[in-house]
Amino acid sequence: MKLKDKIVLITGSSRGIGAEIAQSFAKEGAIVVVNYLKNKEAAEKVVKACKDFGGDAWSIQADVTCESSVREMVDEIILEVGKIDVLVNNAFKSYVFSPENRKLAWELSWEDYQSQIDGSLRSTHNVCQAVFRNMKMKNQGSIINIVSDLVARPTIPYHEYTTAKAALVGYSRNLAAELGQFGIRVNCVAPGLVYPTDASRDTKEEVKEMLIAQTPLKRIASPKDIAGPVLFLASDWSRFMTGQTLYVDGGLVMS
């Protein structure tokens, strides 16, 4: 995929989907920056796995909802390696997909929405703002934002989570329209339910079976299923694609 020696920053990559994406880039020879919030030990395990797969990697702590923390992280990366070729915005506010425990529409406060918007949209905005200058100077870059197929098909109404991801889709399309002139592509990957992850640990078997029954490919996604499309959007194989959302949910959403 011609990703060898590409500098790839992946936010929230100490576990789950982010960790799998990091390791997949490493297998292609990329140099991976594993961003984490609190769990340094988990991040270092991902770094070790990346190196075992033949890539290079290091971990860096930053709260992506904090602008100054993000700028310090990006400045450190630029000082170390001079550029960022690929940015994967995977970090989001913790959320548990449990139909029984979700808040119903009339139970939600604006603070519930704001928390998710900060976790998805504000964090992505902070990191994008920090990397724009370097990508514009290099006249190239690929930004991939992880959203959700719930935006197109709210199979279960996780209101605050889905609203934040919908905002992120709109943000990404506007960036794509603005940044194309600088050779910067912006796309989204929209998974369905992914198992196993921390977010899906409380999803009951009957819910998974319901989703499987509605899914043409008749299974739930694994983290590895999400990594492939992310690498595709980061590579030259998708060099004429921007402003797109790839639904990675076994055909549950067809656009």
246 — phi, psi (to 5°)? -95, 120
CA dist 213 and 29 (Å) reads 38
Residue 89 contacts residue 10 (beta carbons within 8 Å) = no
CA dist 22 and 15 (Å) reads 10
Where do we find the tokens 């020696």?
Answer: 5
Count CB neighbours of 236 within 10 A: 10
Count CB neighbours of 192 within 10 A: 24
24 — phi, psi (to 5°)? -70, -40
Active site residue 161: yes
Catalytic residue among 161, 171, 195, 247: 161
**What one-character-per-residue DSSP string does 120-187 give?**
IIIHHHHHHHHHHHHHHHHT-EEEEEE--GGGT--SS--HHHHHHHHHHHHHHHHHHHHHGGGTEEEE
Burial class, 154, CB count within 10 angstroms (exposed 0-12 / middle 13-18 / buried 19+): middle
List the catalytic residues: 161
